[in-house]
Amino acid sequence: MKKEIKFSLVYRDMFQSSGKYQPRVDQLVKIAPVIIDMGCFARVETNGGAFEQVNLMYGENPNTAVRAFTKPFNEVGIKTHMLDRGLNALRMFPCPADLRKLMYKVKHAQGVDITRIFCGLNDPNNIIPSIKYAKEGRMTPQATLCITYSPVHTVEYYTKLADTLIEAGAEEICLKDMAGIGRPWSLGQLVKNIKTKHPDIIIQYHGHSGPGLSMASILEVCENGADVIDTAIEPLSWGKVHPDVISVQAMLKDAGFQVPEINMSAYMKARALTQEFIDDFLGYFMDPNNKLMSSLLLTCGLPGGMMGSMMADLKGVHSGINMMLKAQNKPEVSLDDLVIHLFDEVKNVWPKVGYPPLVTPFSQYTKNIALMNIMAEVQNKPMFSLLSDNSIWGMILGKSGKLPGEVAPEIKELAKEQGREFFTGDVQALYPDCLDKYREEMKKNGWETGPDDEELFEFAMHDTQYRDFKSGVAKQRFEADLQKAKDASMAKNGFSEEDIIKMKRAKAEPITAEEKGQVVWEIDVENPSMAPSVGKEFKADDKFCYIMTHWGAVKQTANFNGRVIEICAKQGDRVDKGDVIAYIQRNDA
């Protein structure tokens, strides 16, 4: 019998790789005991990069979500782990050092055991400080190798990187095969090299299914000494996500490895609950293409989870490109032609910008450069001439860390022409400490910094989203976004706009004018008067609008507890008593 292989469930990443939003805290709490009952998981991914920002986006406190989700796993001894972007921590751009340090204190207090530290550039200078901070915060630092396939990213390159990170104090190594394009044999050799020199280091493999190599890769890394495999469950396994734990278990058991048994009754319950969450609201924001695997991903190396946003970008510019081609008497291109053209341009751009591993945010940057080059080509402009985004230039100039390869001479020349300078110093020094500033603002606003300064951490990490969360704007925006997505889904399924309005009204109550007069949303001469957004919630006695009569302003109340599903009167419209101003869906409907 071969060695024991443990499984981890990347539950929140299943949703991250499928769509826009994550489960709510009530859904996470509901699924946690069922995951435990499955009996096959030694680890569960509970939070990290993007996940917590998404909580804020729909008006939910991420600290509450993390504490609630980790608690049941902590109680039964299942290890919890998070995704950590090194210099960027939990966001898409660099963090000050004091904020990075605070993260580990907060996350340990919230019940997270392991932090998976990665740098999108594989720059050890961005990872090593986080290894130190994690240890100071009493978390297990799992240093990460972002796997990609290029002349630069060889087995020797990754072996040397692993040696550097382990010598710096990493207690575990993760092979993060974010696009699933790591070649199985090479991954096996990499694991063998690491285990030969560092036999006690735990190796965890995280491989997306996108181009179809992940199962072969799992077998190879296990044959060469890997310890833990990231897996998913239906209905979100496979596609652009991760292999299903049932298939992984069957394959490894047949190969002679010791693997845990799966409580299939609990699996089916978890499967049903996950589908329930999808049907509730998450599915409205999932791209159907993310359920499909595609070998085309091997040609460009982009992560499968990006396909949805990439296709949205291409659909957005497709008609414009054809208009420009038509004006030049050139043949128009199909969307499929444009996809292949973009993949080819990614392959062209990637080495010229120094082979950044195609993982967030650098995968987006590389794709955007390729798309700008296509637009430049159509406009008969030089390649890279539309490149102006400061975040992308920051990557190229070294302000996010050291690139694995050399930047092409033509891009260096372009930087010189634009007065941009390459940076080779300590990247962290570019981002001074920030916590005192945010603490002062919280004090001014009367906001609590929270236990273990967790609220201070969230504010400093995601300040724009946190302000929107505190004001209620985030929840309103999400409700409007959800209603729009529901309407789009109904329209796609053949319902006319009139049908949709009728169905929405059938489940709603009308807010009718209490007097004859003119609708005014706010009495404030300094601010534009706007109707409440679709999705905004009201209590029955809340002010909804004003009716301006000849004797003055009359406050119109909402009359029902619920959320707005339709606005029927515009600013300044004249209404008679009893006319419908809006429809509101009652909370008890």
Alpha-carbon distance of 153 to 185, in angstroms, equals 14
Quote the pLDDT of residue 461.
Answer: 96
Beta bridge partners of residue 557, listed in sequence order: 543
pLDDT in tens, the chain (589 residues): 799 999 999 999 999 888 888 899 999 999 999 999 999 999 999 998 788 988 999 899 999 999 999 999 999 999 999 999 999 999 988 999 999 999 999 999 999 999 999 998 999 999 999 999 999 999 999 999 999 998 999 999 999 999 999 999 999 999 999 989 999 999 999 999 999 999 999 999 999 999 999 999 999 999 999 999 999 999 999 999 999 999 999 999 999 999 999 999 999 999 999 999 999 999 998 888 888 888 888 877 777 666 666 776 777 778 888 888 888 888 888 888 888 888 888 889 999 999 998 887 888 888 889 888 888 888 888 888 888 888 889 999 999 999 999 999 999 999 999 999 999 899 999 999 999 999 999 999 999 999 999 999 999 999 999 999 998 888 888 888 888 888 888 777 777 777 777 777 777 889 999 999 999 887 544 444 577 877 778 888 888 888 988 888 888 988 888 888 888 888 888 999 999 999 988 876 5
The DSSP letter of residue 540 is T
Are 401 and 121 spatial neighbours (Cβ–Cβ below 8 Å)?
A: yes
List Cα–Cα distances, 70 to 20, 65, 501, in angstroms: 22, 9, 42
List Cα–Cα distances, 396 to 77, 147, 364, in angstroms: 43, 20, 13
Beta strands 517-520 and 543-549 are antiparallel
In a 3-state reduction of DSSP, which class is residue 203? strand
Are 53 and 474 spatial neighbours (Cβ–Cβ below 8 Å)?
A: no
Quote the pLDDT of residue 525.
Answer: 40
Non-local (6+) Cβ contacts of 146 within 8 A are 118, 119, 120, 122, 176, 178, 357, 359
Closest by alpha carbon to 284, among 18, 7, 75?
Answer: 18
Quote the pLDDT of residue 588.
Answer: 62
Quote the pLDDT of residue 529.
Answer: 58
Are 194 and 165 spatial neighbours (Cβ–Cβ below 8 Å)?
A: no
Quote the pLDDT of residue 534.
Answer: 77
Give, for 80, the enclosing helix (H) or strand (E).
strand 79-84
Are 141 and 130 spatial neighbours (Cβ–Cβ below 8 Å)?
A: yes
Quote the pLDDT of residue 336.
Answer: 86
